[in-house]
Amino acid sequence: NLDIRVSIPSNDEIGSLGKAINDLALETNRYRSNRREFFANISHELRTPISYLKGYAEVLKQDLYQTEEERQQYLKIIDDETERMIRLINDLFELSKMEEGKIDLQMNAIDLTDVIETALFKVRIDLKKEGLTLKSQLDRNVPYIEGDGIRLEQIFTNLLRNAVRYTEKGSVSVKIWSALNKVHVIIEDTGIGIPVEDLPLIFERFHRVEKSRSRELGGTGLGLAIVKNLVELQNGTISVNSQVGKGTRFQLSFPAAE
Protein backbone atom coordinates (compact mmCIF):
# COMPACT_ATOMS: atom_id res chain seq x y z
CA ASN A 1 0.00 0.00 0.00
CA LEU A 2 0.92 3.59 -0.61
CA ASP A 3 1.83 4.86 2.82
CA ILE A 4 1.55 8.60 2.46
CA ARG A 5 -0.14 10.84 4.95
CA VAL A 6 0.77 14.51 4.90
CA SER A 7 -0.46 16.72 7.64
CA ILE A 8 -0.53 20.40 6.76
CA PRO A 9 -3.20 22.01 8.86
CA SER A 10 -3.28 25.31 6.97
CA ASN A 11 -6.08 26.71 4.86
CA ASP A 12 -3.99 28.01 1.99
CA GLU A 13 -2.85 26.41 -1.28
CA ILE A 14 -0.29 24.24 0.51
CA GLY A 15 -3.03 22.93 2.80
CA SER A 16 -5.23 21.98 -0.16
CA LEU A 17 -2.27 20.39 -1.90
CA GLY A 18 -1.69 18.25 1.21
CA LYS A 19 -5.34 17.22 1.20
CA ALA A 20 -5.19 16.36 -2.50
CA ILE A 21 -2.16 14.14 -1.89
CA ASN A 22 -3.95 12.32 0.92
CA ASP A 23 -7.05 11.78 -1.21
CA LEU A 24 -4.92 10.47 -4.05
CA ALA A 25 -3.13 8.00 -1.77
CA LEU A 26 -6.46 6.79 -0.40
CA GLU A 27 -7.88 6.36 -3.89
CA THR A 28 -4.77 4.51 -5.11
CA ASN A 29 -4.97 2.11 -2.19
CA ARG A 30 -8.64 1.49 -2.79
CA TYR A 31 -7.94 0.80 -6.47
CA ARG A 32 -5.11 -1.60 -5.64
CA SER A 33 -7.15 -3.53 -3.14
CA ASN A 34 -10.06 -3.80 -5.64
CA ARG A 35 -7.68 -5.10 -8.26
CA ARG A 36 -6.22 -7.65 -5.84
CA GLU A 37 -9.66 -8.85 -4.85
CA PHE A 38 -10.74 -9.04 -8.49
CA PHE A 39 -7.82 -11.27 -9.49
CA ALA A 40 -8.24 -13.43 -6.39
CA ASN A 41 -11.89 -13.92 -7.39
CA ILE A 42 -11.05 -14.86 -10.96
CA SER A 43 -8.43 -17.37 -9.88
CA HIS A 44 -10.85 -18.92 -7.45
CA GLU A 45 -13.68 -19.08 -9.99
CA LEU A 46 -11.42 -20.76 -12.55
CA ARG A 47 -9.70 -23.08 -10.14
CA THR A 48 -12.95 -24.74 -9.07
CA PRO A 49 -14.09 -25.96 -12.51
CA ILE A 50 -10.54 -26.86 -13.50
CA SER A 51 -10.13 -29.08 -10.47
CA TYR A 52 -13.37 -30.85 -11.39
CA LEU A 53 -12.14 -31.36 -14.93
CA LYS A 54 -8.84 -32.73 -13.74
CA GLY A 55 -10.41 -35.00 -11.14
CA TYR A 56 -13.05 -36.54 -13.38
CA ALA A 57 -10.73 -36.87 -16.36
CA GLU A 58 -8.45 -38.84 -14.05
CA VAL A 59 -11.30 -41.09 -12.96
CA LEU A 60 -12.17 -41.82 -16.59
CA LYS A 61 -8.56 -42.29 -17.60
CA GLN A 62 -7.99 -44.90 -14.93
CA ASP A 63 -11.36 -46.60 -15.46
CA LEU A 64 -12.30 -45.89 -11.85
CA TYR A 65 -16.04 -46.28 -12.37
CA GLN A 66 -18.41 -49.17 -11.86
CA THR A 67 -21.18 -48.72 -14.39
CA GLU A 68 -21.81 -47.11 -17.74
CA GLU A 69 -24.27 -44.80 -16.02
CA GLU A 70 -21.57 -43.60 -13.69
CA ARG A 71 -19.26 -42.98 -16.65
CA GLN A 72 -21.98 -40.87 -18.31
CA GLN A 73 -22.37 -38.87 -15.09
CA TYR A 74 -18.68 -38.03 -15.02
CA LEU A 75 -18.74 -37.00 -18.64
CA LYS A 76 -21.71 -34.75 -17.95
CA ILE A 77 -19.86 -33.04 -15.10
CA ILE A 78 -16.90 -32.42 -17.39
CA ASP A 79 -19.23 -31.02 -20.02
CA ASP A 80 -21.11 -28.75 -17.54
CA GLU A 81 -17.95 -27.42 -15.97
CA THR A 82 -16.41 -26.65 -19.36
CA GLU A 83 -19.61 -24.87 -20.31
CA ARG A 84 -19.48 -22.76 -17.17
CA MET A 85 -15.84 -21.81 -17.70
CA ILE A 86 -16.69 -20.62 -21.20
CA ARG A 87 -19.55 -18.57 -19.78
CA LEU A 88 -17.31 -17.09 -17.13
CA ILE A 89 -14.63 -16.11 -19.63
CA ASN A 90 -17.18 -14.60 -22.02
CA ASP A 91 -18.75 -12.61 -19.18
CA LEU A 92 -15.38 -11.37 -17.99
CA PHE A 93 -14.41 -10.30 -21.47
CA GLU A 94 -17.68 -8.47 -21.91
CA LEU A 95 -17.38 -6.68 -18.56
CA SER A 96 -13.84 -5.55 -19.24
CA LYS A 97 -14.88 -4.16 -22.62
CA MET A 98 -17.72 -2.26 -20.99
CA GLU A 99 -15.58 -0.86 -18.23
CA GLU A 100 -13.06 0.43 -20.73
CA GLY A 101 -15.86 1.99 -22.76
CA LYS A 102 -14.96 -0.27 -25.68
CA ILE A 103 -18.38 -1.63 -26.38
CA ASP A 104 -20.31 -0.42 -29.38
CA LEU A 105 -24.00 0.00 -28.83
CA GLN A 106 -26.22 0.23 -31.89
CA MET A 107 -28.60 2.91 -30.68
CA ASN A 108 -32.05 2.96 -32.25
CA ALA A 109 -35.59 3.93 -31.35
CA ILE A 110 -36.82 0.84 -29.51
CA ASP A 111 -40.22 -0.34 -28.37
CA LEU A 112 -39.35 -1.82 -24.98
CA THR A 113 -42.60 -3.80 -24.79
CA ASP A 114 -41.50 -5.75 -27.89
CA VAL A 115 -38.13 -6.43 -26.30
CA ILE A 116 -39.76 -7.72 -23.14
CA GLU A 117 -42.07 -9.98 -25.09
CA THR A 118 -39.08 -11.53 -26.86
CA ALA A 119 -37.26 -11.98 -23.54
CA LEU A 120 -40.36 -13.59 -22.04
CA PHE A 121 -40.62 -15.93 -24.98
CA LYS A 122 -37.05 -17.05 -24.38
CA VAL A 123 -37.48 -17.84 -20.69
CA ARG A 124 -40.95 -19.37 -21.05
CA ILE A 125 -39.51 -22.89 -21.19
CA ASP A 126 -37.60 -22.37 -17.94
CA LEU A 127 -40.73 -21.02 -16.26
CA LYS A 128 -42.69 -24.08 -17.31
CA LYS A 129 -39.97 -26.45 -16.20
CA GLU A 130 -39.93 -24.89 -12.75
CA GLY A 131 -43.74 -24.87 -12.51
CA LEU A 132 -43.86 -21.12 -11.93
CA THR A 133 -46.69 -18.85 -13.01
CA LEU A 134 -45.97 -15.92 -15.27
CA LYS A 135 -47.92 -12.72 -14.70
CA SER A 136 -47.50 -9.91 -17.16
CA GLN A 137 -48.96 -6.46 -17.49
CA LEU A 138 -47.61 -5.00 -20.68
CA ASP A 139 -48.61 -1.56 -21.91
CA ARG A 140 -48.40 -1.77 -25.70
CA ASN A 141 -48.31 1.97 -26.19
CA VAL A 142 -45.22 3.03 -24.32
CA PRO A 143 -43.07 5.66 -26.06
CA TYR A 144 -39.89 4.56 -27.80
CA ILE A 145 -36.63 4.67 -25.91
CA GLU A 146 -33.14 5.20 -27.28
CA GLY A 147 -31.24 1.92 -26.97
CA ASP A 148 -29.63 -1.17 -28.45
CA GLY A 149 -32.29 -3.82 -29.03
CA ILE A 150 -29.96 -6.79 -28.55
CA ARG A 151 -28.42 -5.37 -25.37
CA LEU A 152 -31.83 -4.52 -23.95
CA GLU A 153 -32.98 -8.06 -24.59
CA GLN A 154 -29.85 -9.31 -22.83
CA ILE A 155 -30.74 -7.20 -19.76
CA PHE A 156 -34.25 -8.59 -19.52
CA THR A 157 -33.46 -12.24 -20.24
CA ASN A 158 -30.79 -12.03 -17.57
CA LEU A 159 -33.13 -10.57 -14.94
CA LEU A 160 -35.87 -13.03 -15.86
CA ARG A 161 -33.48 -16.00 -15.72
CA ASN A 162 -32.36 -14.88 -12.26
CA ALA A 163 -35.99 -14.55 -11.17
CA VAL A 164 -36.63 -18.15 -12.28
CA ARG A 165 -33.34 -19.39 -10.88
CA TYR A 166 -33.92 -18.00 -7.39
CA THR A 167 -37.62 -18.83 -7.09
CA GLU A 168 -38.83 -22.20 -5.90
CA LYS A 169 -42.56 -21.66 -6.06
CA GLY A 170 -45.05 -18.96 -6.92
CA SER A 171 -44.69 -16.51 -9.74
CA VAL A 172 -42.59 -14.18 -11.80
CA SER A 173 -44.31 -10.91 -12.74
CA VAL A 174 -43.38 -8.39 -15.35
CA LYS A 175 -44.90 -4.96 -15.74
CA ILE A 176 -44.12 -2.17 -18.20
CA TRP A 177 -45.70 1.26 -18.31
CA SER A 178 -44.78 4.87 -18.96
CA ALA A 179 -45.04 8.00 -16.86
CA LEU A 180 -43.42 11.42 -16.87
CA ASN A 181 -41.38 10.89 -20.05
CA LYS A 182 -39.93 7.64 -18.83
CA VAL A 183 -40.56 4.00 -19.49
CA HIS A 184 -40.60 1.86 -16.34
CA VAL A 185 -40.27 -1.89 -15.96
CA ILE A 186 -40.69 -4.07 -12.90
CA ILE A 187 -39.56 -7.68 -12.71
CA GLU A 188 -40.71 -9.30 -9.54
CA ASP A 189 -40.53 -12.81 -8.14
CA THR A 190 -41.78 -14.70 -5.10
CA GLY A 191 -38.42 -16.35 -4.53
CA ILE A 192 -35.82 -16.71 -1.82
CA GLY A 193 -35.10 -12.98 -1.60
CA ILE A 194 -31.85 -11.17 -0.80
CA PRO A 195 -30.72 -10.27 2.74
CA VAL A 196 -30.68 -6.53 3.37
CA GLU A 197 -26.90 -6.47 3.96
CA ASP A 198 -26.28 -7.98 0.51
CA LEU A 199 -28.60 -5.62 -1.36
CA PRO A 200 -26.10 -2.80 -1.91
CA LEU A 201 -23.53 -5.32 -3.18
CA ILE A 202 -25.36 -7.53 -5.65
CA PHE A 203 -24.44 -5.38 -8.66
CA GLU A 204 -20.74 -5.84 -7.83
CA ARG A 205 -18.67 -8.36 -9.77
CA PHE A 206 -18.68 -11.83 -8.16
CA HIS A 207 -20.90 -10.89 -5.24
CA ARG A 208 -23.26 -13.74 -4.47
CA VAL A 209 -25.50 -14.23 -1.49
CA GLU A 210 -24.91 -17.95 -1.33
CA LYS A 211 -21.91 -19.00 -3.35
CA SER A 212 -22.75 -22.67 -3.45
CA ARG A 213 -26.36 -22.17 -4.41
CA SER A 214 -25.54 -19.78 -7.23
CA ARG A 215 -22.85 -22.17 -8.42
CA GLU A 216 -25.19 -25.15 -8.36
CA LEU A 217 -27.64 -23.18 -10.47
CA GLY A 218 -24.99 -22.35 -13.04
CA GLY A 219 -24.38 -18.70 -12.10
CA THR A 220 -21.09 -16.87 -12.59
CA GLY A 221 -21.74 -13.94 -10.23
CA LEU A 222 -21.17 -11.49 -13.09
CA GLY A 223 -24.69 -11.27 -14.54
CA LEU A 224 -25.93 -8.30 -12.53
CA ALA A 225 -22.68 -6.37 -12.93
CA ILE A 226 -23.13 -6.68 -16.71
CA VAL A 227 -26.81 -5.76 -16.46
CA LYS A 228 -26.08 -2.60 -14.47
CA ASN A 229 -23.36 -1.51 -16.89
CA LEU A 230 -25.65 -2.06 -19.87
CA VAL A 231 -28.54 -0.19 -18.24
CA GLU A 232 -26.35 2.81 -17.48
CA LEU A 233 -24.78 2.84 -20.95
CA GLN A 234 -28.34 3.31 -22.23
CA ASN A 235 -29.08 6.16 -19.80
CA GLY A 236 -31.29 4.01 -17.63
CA THR A 237 -31.41 3.29 -13.91
CA ILE A 238 -31.87 0.04 -12.03
CA SER A 239 -32.77 -0.52 -8.39
CA VAL A 240 -33.68 -3.50 -6.26
CA ASN A 241 -35.93 -4.24 -3.31
CA SER A 242 -36.14 -7.56 -1.60
CA GLN A 243 -37.30 -9.45 1.43
CA VAL A 244 -35.83 -12.79 2.45
CA GLY A 245 -38.35 -15.57 1.95
CA LYS A 246 -40.82 -13.24 0.20
CA GLY A 247 -39.23 -12.24 -3.06
CA THR A 248 -37.30 -9.70 -5.06
CA ARG A 249 -38.23 -6.78 -7.24
CA PHE A 250 -36.04 -5.05 -9.79
CA GLN A 251 -37.20 -1.73 -11.17
CA LEU A 252 -35.71 -0.16 -14.29
CA SER A 253 -36.40 3.20 -15.90
CA PHE A 254 -35.32 4.59 -19.27
CA PRO A 255 -35.89 8.08 -20.62
CA ALA A 256 -38.37 8.24 -23.51
CA ALA A 257 -36.76 9.16 -26.84
CA GLU A 258 -37.24 12.79 -27.92
Instruction: Check binding of 166 to ligand ADP (CB under 6 A).
Output: yes
Instruction: Check binding of 224 to ligand ADP (CB under 6 A).
Output: yes
Residues pairing with 147 in the sheet: 108
CA distance readout (Å), 174 to 88, 101, 156, 184: 28, 30, 10, 11
Instruction: Check binding of 163 to ligand ADP (CB under 6 A).
Output: yes
Instruction: Check binding of 148 to ligand ADP (CB under 6 A).
Output: no
Instruction: Provide the minimum distance between the beta carbon of 247 and ligand ADP in the complex, in angstroms, as a whole number.
Output: 7
Q: What is the 3-state secondary structure (H, E, C) of the chain?
A: CCCCCCCCCCCCHHHHHHHHHHHHHHHHHHHHHHHHHHHHHHHHHHHHHHHHHHHHHHHHHCCCCCCHHHHHHHHHHHHHHHHHHHHHHHHHHHHHHHHCCCCCCCCEEECHHHHHHHHHHHHHHHHHHHCCEEEEEECCCCCCEEECHHHHHHHHHHHHHHHHHCCCCCEEEEEEEEECCEEEEEEEECCCCCCCCCHHHCCCCCCCCCHHHHHHCCCCCCHHHHHHHHHHHCCCEEEEEEECCCEEEEEEEEEECC
Instruction: Check binding of 132 to ligand ADP (CB under 6 A).
Output: no
Instruction: Provide the minimum distance between the beta carbon of 162 and ligand ADP in the complex, in angstroms, as a whole number.
Output: 4
Cβ proximity of 174 and 135 under 8 Å: yes
Cβ-based nearer residue to ligand ADP, 47 or 54: 47
Cβ-based nearer residue to ligand ADP, 214 or 229: 214
Instruction: Check binding of 157 to ligand ADP (CB under 6 A).
Output: no
Cβ-based nearer residue to ligand ADP, 56 or 166: 166
Cβ-based nearer residue to ligand ADP, 81 or 189: 189
Instruction: Provide the minimum distance between the beta carbon of 146 and ligand ADP in the complex, in angstroms, as a whole number.
Output: 25
Instruction: Check binding of 154 to ligand ADP (CB under 6 A).
Output: no
By CB under 6 A, which span of 30-38, 77-85, 125-133, 213-221 interacts with ligand ADP?
213-221
Cβ-based nearer residue to ligand ADP, 162 or 234: 162
Cβ-based nearer residue to ligand ADP, 58 or 168: 168
Residue from 98, 119, 202, 238 touching ligand ADP (CB under 6 A): that is 202
Of the candidates 42, 71, 150, 162, which has an alpha carbon nearest to the alpha carbon of residue 105?
150
Instruction: Check binding of 192 to ligand ADP (CB under 6 A).
Output: yes
Instruction: Check binding of 189 to ligand ADP (CB under 6 A).
Output: yes
Cβ-based nearer residue to ligand ADP, 175 or 208: 208
Residues contributing to the site for ligand ADP (CB under 6 A): 162-163, 166, 189, 191-194, 202, 207-210, 214, 219-225, 248
